[in-house]
Amino acid sequence: MLPANTTPSGLETPSGSDAVGRLALRFGVGVGVLCSLWLLFLQLTGNNPFGPKQLLGQLFVPFAVIASQWMLRRTVAPVLPGVGRSLAVGGLTALLAALIAAGSVWSLAHGVDEKALARNRAEMVEILRVQQRETPKEKRNARLETQQVQRVEELSIRDLAMSTFTRVLLLGMVVGLPSGIFFRK
């Protein structure tokens, strides 16, 4: 009987828990840094790094989650990774990416002047007003529309970082759950 981490050819394979941590760290930090570099690129090119274009960099997170799960499957072969390890590596990858992305938003927001944050709020209010105009008159609520505009105008750096964290984590987990189940075998 061979030990669990030995292949029939006698070569040692990394245990599943070691591979989960290593792969989550590699892919999570890598895609988190990619999100941070995208924010920096947007800032340096004169675009709003806190606006909707930020999402373009965050779209790499689901691909990194899938890649980490696929690499786990290849790393522990011929042993099957199982649903727990597969979901764990995907979840940890998404969590690390979300932490780094939110930290970079927070850092960049503290590094730029208030004028850039005010420009972001103005763009968000403009988007909100366009959405409100598109709503049919019978479904409009003036008090709710005023509250929405006030909330956008009061957005803080913490709110921007929390929304980035939530968005990145949800993007990673929405794709990570089905792919984790798929890559379990």
What pLDDT digit, counting tens, does each position of 71-84 carry? 998 888 888 888 88
Note down the domain range covering 152. Answer: 16-182
pLDDT band at 100 (very low <50, low <70, confident <90, very high): very high
Residue 9 resides in a domain: no
Residue 111 resides in a domain: yes
Look at the chain and report how many structural domains it folds into. Answer: 1
pLDDT band at 162 (very low <50, low <70, confident <90, very high): very high
Residue 106 resides in a domain: yes
**DSSP letters of the chain?**
---TTB-TTS-B---HHHHHHHHHHHHHHHHHHHHHHHHHHHHHTTS-TTSTTHHHHHTHHHHHHHHHHHHHHHHSTTS--HHHHHHHHHHHHHHHHHHHHHHHHHHHHHHS-HHHHHHHHHHHHHHHHHHHHHS-GGG--HHHHHHHHHHHHT--HHHHHHHHHHHHHHHHHHHHHHHHHHTT-
Residue 71 resides in a domain: yes
Instruction: Tell me the per-residue pLDDT of 30-65, one tens digit each, with 9 for 90 and over.
Output: 999 999 999 999 999 988 888 889 999 999 999 999
Residue 31 resides in a domain: yes
More confident: 103 or 136:
103
Residue 7 resides in a domain: no
Model pLDDT, residue 15: 60
Give the predicted TM-score (pTM) of the model.
0.83
